[in-house]
């Protein structure tokens, strides 16, 4: 019989559909009977969705401009090395 702690350990693999048929079935059986683990898995699924929405990071404009500047210098050097 699968315990709640073990289910929590495997929940992430379960949500990514990376478990074998046997393990998947025993988790489904447990979830049918256990309201607490249902709440856990539901909220973990939400957490994953929330992080996806936030995983595109913003780039600090000042740093992007610093990179533009360094790249322009490197481009100028490169064209100086190989005229034409």
Partner 1 sequence: MSIAVQHQDESQLLHRLQAGHADAFHEAVRTYTPGMLAVARYYTDPSSAEDIVQDSWVSVVDAIRQFEGRASLKTWLHRIVANRAKNLLRKQGREVTMDFADALDPALAARFKPNGRWAVPPRISTVESAEALLENGALSECLDKHLAHLPENQRSALLLYEAHQRRSDEVCNILDVSASNLRVLLHRARQKIFLMVEQFQETGEC
Residue 58 tokens read as 């913003």
Helical residues (DSSP H) of the chain, grouped into ranges: 4-15, 21-33, 35-54, 61-81
| Residues of this chain, 47-76, that bind Zn ion according to CB under 5 A | none
- Establish if 8 lies at the interface with Zn ion (CB under 5 A): no
Instruction: Determine the Cα–Cα distance for residues 44 and 34; give it in Å rounded to an integer.
Output: 16
- Establish if 62 lies at the interface with partner 1 (CB under 8 A): no
Enumerate binding residues for partner 1 (CB under 8 A).
3-6, 8-9, 12-13, 18, 36-37, 39-40, 42-59, 63-64, 66-68, 70-72, 74-75, 78-79
């Amino acid at each position: 019989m699968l315990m709640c702690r073990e289910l929590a350990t495997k929940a992430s693999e379960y949500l990514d559909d990376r478990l074998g048929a046997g393990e998947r079935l025993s988790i489904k059986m447990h979830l049918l009977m256990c309201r607490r683990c249902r709440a856990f898995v539901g909220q973990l699924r939400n957490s994953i969705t929330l992080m996806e929405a936030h995983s595109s990071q913003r780039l600090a404009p000042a740093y992007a401009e610093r990179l533009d500047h360094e790249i322009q210098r490197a481009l100028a050097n490169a064209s100086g090395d190989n005229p034409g």
